[in-house]
Amino acid sequence: MNPAEESRPVRVGLISLGCAKNLVDAEIMLGALLKDGFDSLDEDFAEEQFFAAVRAAYWRAGADRIHRFVTESAWSERRQSFVASPGTESLDASLLLMHEVGFLAADDPRFASTVTAIERELKRGDFIFRYVEPDDFGEPENAFVVCTFWYVHALAALGREDEARALFGKLLECRNRHGLLAEHVDPRTREPWGNFVQTYSMVGLISAAFRLSIPWDRAF
């Protein structure tokens, strides 16, 4: 680990694995936030143009540093994939969001190869595990539902829309009679596990439905 990396603050992601290490999804989300910040600055008002330009330059530089850090430190030549944390070979399903948040273009070969690695290592049946390493609760036994919705997004981004729609249909079959989803699903029995109702899962359903929706000009 180089001195620059040692001096970086430890950033944990959507769900901490119970260890003090940088998680790439946290870096990606922060970079996306900074990019959205400088993209959304309103420079129409003359008195604000100077300050907007200063803020935009600062945020853009921060987003560029994060992008450089991730691409240089979190790529595994062995796996041909980005990894969950620099210096490890672990995979995390949140890497499926790299295109969705604007970190990588869909046609970037590193995105496609990362999706392939996640399919190979984290997919159990129809479902994607968040990670497979033991955490504070032991070795994961059930799939985190929202991760499979992230996979639907990634498939659609890669032009694999038929696969994405078929998988979305299978996820809908995991709802209860009220149309609600749990936090986890047993990949063998499709039995719901974990917190219920789980907001992550329901937001994943809604966002995937929007992602797969056909525009009006194509529907009729």
Q: What pLDDT, in 10s, does the model give residues 116-147? A: 999 999 999 999 999 888 777 778 889 999 99
Looking at residue 141, its pLDDT comes to 87
- For residue 158, give the nearest of 200, 202, 194, 110 by alpha carbon: 110
Looking at residue 154, its pLDDT comes to 95
- The residue ranking higher by pLDDT, 160 or 197, is 160
Q: Is residue 132 within 8 Å of residue 140, measured between CB atoms? A: yes
- Residue 122, phi then psi, degrees to nearest 5: -115, -5
Looking at residue 50, its pLDDT comes to 57
CB-side neighbour CA atoms (13 Å) of 164: 21
For 39-91, the pLDDT digits (tens) are 655 555 444 565 666 677 777 887 888 888 888 888 999 999 999 888 888 89
Q: Is residue 130 within 8 Å of residue 15, measured between CB atoms? A: yes
Looking at residue 19, its pLDDT comes to 46
Percentage, residues of the chain above pLDDT 90: 46
- The residue ranking higher by pLDDT, 194 or 111, is 111
Given a cut of 80, is residue 211 above it in pLDDT? yes
Beta strand 192-193 with 184-185: parallel, antiparallel or unpaired?
Answer: antiparallel
Looking at residue 52, its pLDDT comes to 64
Report how far residue 203's alpha carbon sits from residue 161's, in angstroms, rounded to the nearest whole number.
20
Given a cut of 50, is residue 6 above it in pLDDT? no
Looking at residue 71, its pLDDT comes to 86
